[in-house]
Structure 1
Amino acid sequence: MPRKRILSETEKRELISLPNTDQEIIWWYTLSEDDIIFIRNSTRGKINQLRLSIQLCYMRYPGISLAINERPDQKILNYVADQLQIDNSNWENYHSGPNESRYDHINIVRKRYNYQNFTISHHKNCVDKLRDSALQTDKGFILARELMNILREQRILLPSMSVIERICAEAVTKAEKEIYSLLSSSLTKDQKYALERLLITGQQYSVSTFNWLMQSPAAANPKHILIHLSKLKVIKKLSLPLDLGKHVHLNYLSKMAREGKQMTSQHLSDFEQNRKYATLIAVLLEIRETITDEIIEIHDTIMNSLFKDAKNKQNRPSDHIGVQNGQLF
């Protein structure tokens, strides 16, 4: 089964992008006095001190170590070098010359600042930490940004973007299952049976009751108000709990309703039980609200039409009387 994709390529690039403005660079890459003392005491040679400081800065933000042969962003390099009063024009690759290796610098920073690599043991913990947020939104970008901030706060170096996406996708899947269970567990056996009946297409009708409920009127007239009232009666007869859906974030209710409206009754019938009932509930809650709004709108349209007709009829007799009066005088 293919992995769930919840991040676009553009979002991935944005999440891992480096600060660009002077204000951002100053915020993230200003070295403290203790940092500078540590850097100068931990390694010899100005080029090694500069490389060590760059690894420290990249670990702080975006939360990674500089890759082999990767040259740091020039703005960041200039700013860090200025703080250390080092000429950065002789920046070289880690593998060249007698200089200390990239791994030496990474290990020095990790030991001093307690940074650690992301491991499989962190995976489940990260999914759990995203639970509350995932119950409010399924937007991968929002969840990934929160996850990356959590890892930075804990001084855990970021894993690959594919791992970050997988963690967020798992958090969303767990949240969805929790929401399905929450909505479904509020129903009695009879209510579940009644919801199942909505999906059945009877011999006398070409559509199921569920599809009929989703149909909107083509025009505003008294007949459609009666149809809408009939639909509200069907929904009311289900006797759904009054607080149903109150503990589920509107983002998820709207998403489930949107998905449910795009499904046929047969497709909904094939859903896993909890997901099926939860989707039906979300659609019915939205239909009930929409129908109520449409009844008010149709009523206003009809009343405005009646008012205009009455006004026109009132004006016509007045004109006729005026003519008669003109003939008399």
Structure 2
Amino acid sequence: MKKHEILSPQSRAELFDPPRDPAAIVRHYTLSPDDLTLIRQRRRDANRLGFAVHLAYLKFPGRVLGSEETPAPEMLAFLARQLGIESGAYLEYAQRDETRREHLGEIQSHLRVRPFSRGDYRSVAEIATDEAIGTDRGHAIVAAMIETLRSRSILLPAPTILERIGLAARARARKQAHKNLIEGLEQRAINELQALIAVSDDRDRTRLAWLRDWREAPTQKNLVGVVERLQFVRSLGVGPDREQRILRARYRAIAKETAILSAQHLSRFDTPRRLAALVVFAREMEAILTDAALVMFDKMLGGVYRRADRTYRENLFHRAKALDASARALLHMAKAMLAAKESGEDQDAAVERSLGWERLKALVAETDIVVTNTREDNLIEIVERYPTVRRMIPVLLNVFVFRSWKPNDLLLDALELLRGLHAARPRHLPQRPPTAFLKATWRKLVGRGSTFDRRAYEVAVMMTLRDSLRSGDIWVEGSRAFRAFGDFLLPPETFVARRQEGE
């Protein structure tokens, strides 16, 4: 598609040429009895077939067949069969222009259609502008104009005319969208946005490039880097209400364009367009960085879980080896005692000889510890990685606002408690921190009353937060990947309307 064209060759053919699909040909070009009566008033086969071709073109796609244009062969063959005429007869049609003009005038009267005129420009341009408000797609804009013209029984003008109208409408829609996006911006916000694409003396790249460039590896340093960028974007003063000022499709079109443009490209735009693009960039980056930080948090806790699980399995292996050694020693001693009993020997002497009382005492103590510490989960190993979890708590809780679909969700109370703990730095938990939201295994490990384990509690809360984010029970303001479940559904009024329309 050329720079100043709105339609690709494929779209132009689809909108302005007769269909080639057999079912569509039958639907559009089956001649009615009135059509056949009018056609058979022509004297020669060539005139009958030529008249039928003009009739077909004016019916659909709704335009005049060009004087130098060859009709679609599939359509020509279908019309010829209905008339009982060889399709080759068309080559002899309309050797005089007067004949062609007479036929077109008669067909327009028959179909009650009229040519496109200068008076139609304004109404068609309004249709194109209305459509362009919600989309940049040239096909959709031109298709809306064509549908309107057909409904008003107006013949389609040359494709270039509708394309020019569509281009102008799209330009107007873009300018209006840019105006709506930046209207009411404070001067400080304007200055900050303009500074995104400028290189200052103390930096070797623009803020725009810096915001787009962060490391995705799940580490504490990278998490801090993402959050730093997120806080900077929020400081620009571009509120979430900006997204609602234009239709979502138009917003997505600007966002898609801005995502691939460099600071150099943006600097070439006129001021309204440049500011609008930067507004959308700021809104998109806030959502992208929010999701990036939450995904990084999820992966970091996942790493904590995997390392703890690896340690847990290693401990299981060592416990199994210890129990195996104990079982073999005790089995050897038991056999010696049984043999002593059968032979009438002193069993104490058999124990002393096979294992020794001191060794037996130590072995029983070691085995008792191994059996006591055997668990079905790896929660203790997870808590042992508390320093890793502790470092991400203030980074996360001081930046994001967590919400729940449950009324009075105790997990949110626990998050607020942790936020306060890390801000004021007290050494102990309050006497009754919220725990009802924790799984029973975590509650048992956390303890109760004066025996509350702060380290276990903080780790348990963060692990539960991770699970709740994954399940959708908890959502985050400004996030797209972790947003409220209701955001994925149709608004109630839209659902009702579509159901009534049978959709």
- Normalising by the residue count of structure 2, what TM-score does the alignment of the two structures yield? 0.58
Deviates more, 1:237-246 or 1:45-54: 45-54
Contact 1:137 1:252 (8 Å CA) reproduced: yes
Deviation at 1:308, TM superposition (A): 1.3
Correspondence for 1:311: 309
Correspondence for 2:61: 62
Q: Does 2:263 match 1:265? A: yes
Deviation at 1:282, TM superposition (A): 1.2
Correspondence for 1:51: 50
Correspondence for 1:222: 220
What CA RMSD, in Å, does the superposition of the two structures yield over aligned residues?
Answer: 2.9
Partner-residue secondary structure (3-state), 1:117: coil
CA, structure 1 residues 95+193, in 2 after alignment: closer, same or farther (shift >3 Å)? Answer: same
Contact 1:232 1:291 (8 Å CA) reproduced: yes
CA, structure 1 residues 69+182, in 2 after alignment: closer, same or farther (shift >3 Å)? Answer: closer
**Partners of 1:93 and 1:125 in 2: CA distance:** 40
CA, structure 1 residues 143+261, in 2 after alignment: closer, same or farther (shift >3 Å)? Answer: same
Correspondence for 1:190: 188
Matches within 5 A, 1:148-227: 148-227=146-225
Contact 2:208 2:263 (8 Å CA) reproduced: yes
**Partners of 2:147 and 2:302 in 1: CA distance:** 56
Deviation at 1:239, TM superposition (A): 2.9
Contact 2:113 2:153 (8 Å CA) reproduced: yes
Correspondence for 1:106: 104
Task: Describe the superposition over 1:288-309 as per-residue Cα deviations: whole angstroms up to 9, x where unpaired.
Answer: 1111111121111111111111
Contact 2:175 2:273 (8 Å CA) reproduced: yes
Deviation at 1:232, TM superposition (A): 2.0
**Partners of 1:186 and 1:4 in 2: CA distance:** 32
Contact 1:28 1:60 (8 Å CA) reproduced: yes
Deviates more, 1:24-33 or 1:285-294: 24-33
Deviates more, 1:123-132 or 1:54-63: 123-132
Deviation at 1:77, TM superposition (A): 3.6
User: Pick from 266, 271, 275: which aligns with 2:273?
Assistant: 275
Correspondence for 2:30: 30
Q: Does 2:123 match 1:125? A: yes
Deviation at 1:151, TM superposition (A): 2.4
CA, structure 1 residues 216+104, in 2 after alignment: closer, same or farther (shift >3 Å)? Answer: same
Deviation at 1:130, TM superposition (A): 1.2
Q: Which amino acid aligns with 2:26?
A: I
Q: Which amino acid aligns with 1:116?
A: R
Partner-residue secondary structure (3-state), 1:130: helix
Please list every run of 5 or more consecutive structure 2 residues that lacks an aligned counterpart in the other structure: 330-503
Q: Which amino acid aligns with 2:240?
A: L
Deviates more, 1:226-235 or 1:141-150: 141-150
Q: Which amino acid aligns with 1:55?
A: H
**Partners of 1:321 and 1:71 in 2: CA distance:** 88
Matches within 5 A, 1:246-265: 246-265=244-263
Q: Which amino acid aligns with 2:108?
A: R
Partner-residue secondary structure (3-state), 1:115: coil
Percent identity among equivalent residues? 24
Task: Describe the superposition over 1:241-298 as per-residue Cα deviations: whole angstroms up to 9, x where unpaired.
Answer: 3321124233333332333343333442342221111101111111111111111211
Partner-residue secondary structure (3-state), 1:294: helix
**Partners of 1:33 and 1:319 in 2: CA distance:** 90
Deviation at 1:105, TM superposition (A): 0.4
Deviation at 1:84, TM superposition (A): 5.1
- Normalising by the residue count of structure 1, what TM-score does the alignment of the two structures yield? 0.85
Q: Which amino acid aligns with 2:25?
A: I
CA, structure 1 residues 127+82, in 2 after alignment: closer, same or farther (shift >3 Å)? Answer: same
**Partners of 2:26 and 2:317 in 1: CA distance:** 80
Q: Which amino acid aligns with 1:216?
A: W
Deviates more, 1:253-262 or 1:138-147: 253-262
